[in-house]
Structures are given as C-alpha cells and as structure tokens.
Amino acid sequence: MLLIGDHNRDGVAHTTKQHCKSSKEDVLEPIVVKAQKLVEHEGHPHTQDYDDMTQEFVMTVISDYHACLCAKGPMPDHTMETSLLDASWAQAHKVTGVNLACSPQLAKLIGNSFFFHGQLKTKLHPLVKAMFGFHSSQSKNVIKKNQALVEGLKEGTNFAFKHMSADEDGQWGFLKAPLIQKIINTMWFANKHDDGVVFHDYFKPFPLLALALVLVAIECCIDEWVTGTQTDIPFTIQEYHGAYKSHLKCLHVFKDATKQYNALPGICARLYEVGWCVSQLCYLLMIIIKSLMYHSIHSGAGPLSAPAKVTVSACIIATAIKEYEDGMTTKDKSD
C-alpha cells in the first residue's frame, strides 16, 4: 500500500467517503413508493381499488389510527386529527417497511373520527334501552315514564353509578355501572383480535379520554328518549364536544380528589383487565362452537341453530373514598 500514489490514495478515500455518504442517505431517506390504483370509478374510493401493497399499508394505518383516536383524541379538532393520522402513517411505515406516499385520495380511505363515533352509538342503542328500561310505546303513561327515566338518569350523572339514587347520599359505585363495562367489552374487546387487545399500548389501562367518550355516548343515547319516544340524535363533535369536555373535567376532579387511594387509575385498570378476559373467553367460546359444529356435521347429525353540566360533588367523592377505605377498591358491594 506504500507504493500507491497520493493521488490514487486520495481518489480511493474520496470514493469510499462518497459511498458511505450515499449509504447513510439511503438509510435515512428510503425510497418513496406511490400507490397504484387499479380500478377507477365514481364516488368515494375503496381500499380494494389499489394494489395489494397499498391495501395492506392502508389497513395497517386505519387500525392504528382508530385505536389512537379513541385513546388520545376521541373528539379531535382538524389539527389533532392530522397529527394523529401522521403518527399512524409513520407507524404503518415502521410495521410494513413500506414508505408509501400520502395523497388526498388515500387520506379519504382512512376516514375520520365520525366513523367510530357512529359505531359506538350503534352498539350502545340496544344496551341503553334494555339495561335502563326504556320502552317504545305511544301510550301517554309509558311516554311519561320514559321522560322521568331520562331526568333521573341524567340527574347527578346517575347513569354512571352501580347504584343509582335521586339522593346523592344513596349513590355508590361511581363508574361501576354495568353498562360502562358492557359497552367497553363490546366496542374494544369483542375478541382477541379487537383493538383493545391488539393495541394494548393504547388501552392498558383503559384510557381516561376514551372513558369520557363512553360517558358522553351513553348520555347521547339517553337524550334520544327525552320526549318519551326515541328520536335519533347524531352523535357528532359539534353537538357533544361541550358535554365531552364536561365529563372529562369531572373525571379529572374525581381523580385528583381520590388520588390518595389511586381510585380512578384502579378503575381504569380493572376496565381493561375485565375487557381482556372477556376477549379471551369469547375467543375460546367461538373455538368450542366451531368444534361442536364440525363434529355435528361430520357425525351426520343436524346443524346447530345458532349536554347538561356534569359535576362531581363532595358527597360523591366522599362516598368513593369510603368505598376504598372499606376495602372495596375497584369492586362493588355485589362482587
């Protein structure tokens, strides 16, 4: 190597330096891939219109984005929506290894927060009616009972308690109403592939923001009975953003007032734990049913049939503290 001239040595060094620089650039700036649209048609675009790679990438973004919205911005403004979408896009790049260029057409495929708002309300509709005892009837007597039920449920956020009462002294089990756990199970823990299980980084423990969304969604479904007969009320950011903020403030007040007992974090942890257990049980039940159907078919047997202002008063806080002092933690008297 001592026989090589300075010019050649410098040239080799220069070339090597350039090669190293180029390699670093390749790592830092991977090739941007453009989506290939295979089907053209009028109206809203569909994921199936694109090539397989784009479909996989977009579905990855959608899953992460909807989970991220629930946990970090259930009622976002445009700026937050854009920020969360960018984060989910980057996560999809990390997961798939594809650096797909974003476009307005692809952004439309992702959708927005209205999607899961409507999904949440749709799942809540029958639960609110059945669990609170609303009845569909043109009878004046039934209509009056429905109206009184609405007033009673919304008074002092009664619907969020395990035991409801017209008097605050009679209320106990704040945030332990069966409906709350039921809709969380149905919405996010229906099976082991659901968002609450797959995106446990977002949902463990159950997010405070998502809990506020659940409360305001329940309130929206109750509001539909305010006239005594059920009337559709859109669950939109415009209509319920104020109520959402009110419920969120209520949760923060409760958290601060009971921080010595770690009450709210304990409740959120239990909501996740119960939801996770339900998802696993549902999966096992599905396997058992499929197994029974398989054996039934192959054995020759027949087939199986298949917004008011929300506040947390000193009385509510005192009752919650007493529950924890009595050793009830996140369980209630019936546990």
Bigger pLDDT: 23 vs 283 = 283
**Residue 326 reports pLDDT greater than 80:** no
pLDDT of residue 181: 96
Residue 230 has pLDDT above 60, yes or no: yes
What is the distance between the alpha carbons of residues 59 and 109, in angstroms, rounded to a whole number?
9
Q: Can you give the pTM of this predicted structure? A: 0.78
At residue 12, does pLDDT exceed 50? Answer: no
The structure tokens 């305010």 sit at 226
Specify whether the CB–CB gap between 257 and 158 falls below 8 A: no
Taking the C-alpha atoms of residue 255 and residue 317, their distance in angstroms, rounded to an integer, is: 9
Across 141-159, average pLDDT: 96
Band (158; pLDDT cuts 50, 70, 90)? very high
pLDDT at position 250 is 96
- When pLDDT is averaged across residues 270-282 and rounded to a whole number, the result is 90
Which of the pair, 15 or 307, is modelled with greater confidence? 307
Q: Is the peptide bond before 178 cis (omega within 30 degrees of 0)?
A: no
The share of the chain scoring above pLDDT 90, in percent, equals 60
pLDDT in tens, 38-74: 888 887 778 889 999 999 999 999 999 999 999 999 9
| Res. 19: pLDDT tops 60 | no
Structure confidence at residue 157 as a pLDDT band (50, 70, 90): very high
Taking the C-alpha atoms of 327, 331, 334 and 335 in order, what is their torsion angle to the nearest 10 degrees?
-100
* 76-108 pLDDT, tens digit each: 998 999 999 999 999 999 999 999 999 888 888
Q: For the residues 319-334, what does the mean pLDDT come to?
A: 56
Q: What is the pLDDT of residue 330?
A: 44
Instruction: Give the span between the Cα atoms of 191 and 277, in whole angstroms.
Output: 10
Q: Are 250 and 312 in contact (CB under 8 A)?
A: yes
Lowest average pLDDT, out of 222-236, 254-268, 277-291, 301-315, goes to 301-315
> Within 13 Å, how many C-alpha atoms sit on residue 165's CB side?
12
How far is it, in rounded angstroms, from Cα 138 to Cα 143? Answer: 7
**Model confidence at 4, in pLDDT bands (50, 70, 90)?**
very low
Average pLDDT on 252-272 reads 96
